[in-house]
Structure 1
Amino acid sequence: MSLINLSYRTNYLHTYFKTTIVIPDTNETSYKNLWLLHGYTGDDSAWIRHKNIEKLAREYNVAVIMPEARNAFYTDSDFIPYYTYFVEELIPKVRSLFPISDKPEDTFIAGSSMGGYGALKIGLKNPQTFSKVAALSPITDIVHFRNNPDAPMAHNTFDTIFDSPEKIKENQLTNLVTPDNKNQKFMTICGHDDYMFQDNIDFANFMTKKFSHNYTFDKVSGNHSWDTWTKNVEKIFKWL
């Protein structure tokens, strides 16, 4: 296995951001690839710290790209234009440096919590890039998340990113679904004891109506924690 720590100064963010990449040693020239996103307060090492991602990458012969997002919510803001950086700079940069496929059928995105929101958002907005999208305990309603007393993000931090009703509306996942998403496949997983379980149920009902057999929802035991995500992330690798 190759474990690569990439750090470079981005043109969009004007600072150094990190990405951790795992590539199997099967000497392919165009690996299927999973962009695996971390949650709030995490970084590019979060998944490596909690789960043996190298083992999963080897078993499923997929390159795994884990970018640092800090607490940017995978969203453009006045402070960090993170979404634009991810789509317009990071993806082309990684593709130019490493042996990963650029075909949609080989390119997947997933994440947990804030990273689950990011995966769903980026996936929905870029169907020409990602054929499959998965999320563990995703934030599916950003307004409910802001107002939930169990949410870890302070209101002023949230409001710095989503700073107007228009910004909230254009970043709500249910508002991002278009006919262009009809050929994608989606999967969400959430624990019964998750503080956002009902939001996930509501989102699952919405997605089932929109995508029918192209959407899978798995209700599991557990809460909003790494214990739940590490127990269930291999389901995503198998599904992919």
Structure 2
Amino acid sequence: MSRFFTTKIAAFEELYFITVKSNALHRRADLTVYYPNQAKDISGIPLVILLHGVYGSHWSWVAQGNVHQTAQALINAGQLRPMVLVMPSDGLFGDGSGYVPHREDNYETWIVEDVIEVVREQFPDVTTSSPVFITGLSMGGFGALRLGAKYPQVFQGFSGLSSITHFNQLRSFVADFASLQRDALEQDSVLDWLLKNKAMLPPFRFDCGKDDALLDANRSLHESLIAHHIDHTYEEFAGAHAWDYWQTYIEKTLLFFNQCIR
């Protein structure tokens, strides 16, 4: 029996819009799922979670990033095996939740437990044997890298684009950082969890635009990982902290996940 009350609406281009009552958030939350035609009847199909940045929501990766079209083009070209993409809201705290536990609502558990369970319930081909990956941009990159490192038993690979690398960097992106800071129970860095779980990490990558304000932070993370002998992939490309960058380079992440599947 389901733990969730859900409303699923099939729309267009294999997109599904789902509203669910989340136990972690104690209220309704939304997710968009891209379920390509080629995914049907493939038991254990891979699942990719994509996290948005501040001011965004579950529609961001589709409406602004066209990620479903990128994935479908790669599938059609034979470069990417069929994958289900799920794009949840961050829980809609203020300008952004940071995807961390808060005093009243757990925006971390929402992602690593509720979202995965809802997709499995709604799409039977996504099973407990499905490889699960996580990626995101900006604040979502922070969430993806941090959660991927914190829960290596959940994710087979993780990635971040233009990522915030420490909770405190959210100060530059949200209007009321003081409220977020008061409410968030964990205010750590990506590196903290990468070091804690160094021996168990799955493959991971991150990239950043050369004109991005977060470039120095990403370079610093890369250099720290080298110093601690943590295997990873880091790349820099032309571009800034903007959707044209993320729309272009999400392809790198999808192909990376494809290579991670055993």
Q: TM-score range by the shorter chain?
A: 0.7 to 0.9
1:107 is aligned, of 127, 132, 138, to: 132
Measure the CA separation in 1 of the matches of 2:183 and 2:56: 26
- What residue ranges of structure 1 are gaps of 5+ in the alignment? none
Match in the other structure for 2:248: 231
Task: Give the aligned residue type for 1:225.
Answer: A
1:74 is aligned, of 99, 111, 136, to: 99
Moved more, 95-104 or 181-190: 95-104
Match in the other structure for 1:120: 145
3-state SS of paired residue (1:48): helix
Task: Give the aligned residue type for 1:219.
Answer: E
Equivalent positions of 1:1-240 (< 5 A) are: 2-26=14-38, 27=40, 28-58=42-72, 59=75, 60=80, 61-69=82-90, 70=92, 71-98=96-123, 99-103=125-129, 106-146=131-171, 151-154=172-175, 157-163=176-182, 167-168=186-187, 171-177=188-194, 178-179=196-197, 181-210=199-228, 212=230, 214-240=231-257
Measure the CA separation in 2 of the matches of 1:50 and 1:233: 12
Measure the CA separation in 2 of the matches of 1:107 and 1:34: 6
TM-score relative to the length of structure 1? 0.87
- Contact 1:127–1:180 (CA<8 Å) still a contact in 2? no
3-state SS of paired residue (1:176): helix
Measure the CA separation in 2 of the matches of 1:31 and 1:167: 32
Measure the CA separation in 2 of the matches of 1:166 and 1:42: 22
Measure the CA separation in 1 of the matches of 2:255 and 2:229: 20
Measure the CA separation in 1 of the matches of 2:105 and 2:142: 17
- Contact 1:6–1:18 (CA<8 Å) still a contact in 2? yes
What is the aligned residue count?
Answer: 230
Match in the other structure for 2:5: none
Q: Relative to total residues, which structure has the larger helix share, 1 or 2? A: 1
- Contact 1:75–1:161 (CA<8 Å) still a contact in 2? no
- Contact 1:57–1:63 (CA<8 Å) still a contact in 2? no
1:155-201 deviation line (CA, Å, top 9, x unaligned): xx323333399842xx2222112246544111111011111110110
- Contact 1:76–1:161 (CA<8 Å) still a contact in 2? no
3-state SS of paired residue (2:182): coil
Evaluate the alpha carbon distance shift between residue 63 and residue 197 of structure 1 in structure 2; reply closer, same or farther with a 3 A threshold. same
- Contact 1:38–1:68 (CA<8 Å) still a contact in 2? yes
The structural deviation recorded for 1:56 is 3.1
Question: Identity rate of aligned residues, in percent?
Answer: 27
Measure the CA separation in 2 of the matches of 1:15 and 1:165: 18
Task: Give the aligned residue type for 1:235.
Answer: K
Evaluate the alpha carbon distance shift between residue 62 and residue 124 of structure 1 in structure 2; reply closer, same or farther with a 3 A threshold. same
TM-score relative to the length of structure 2? 0.80
3-state SS of paired residue (1:193): coil
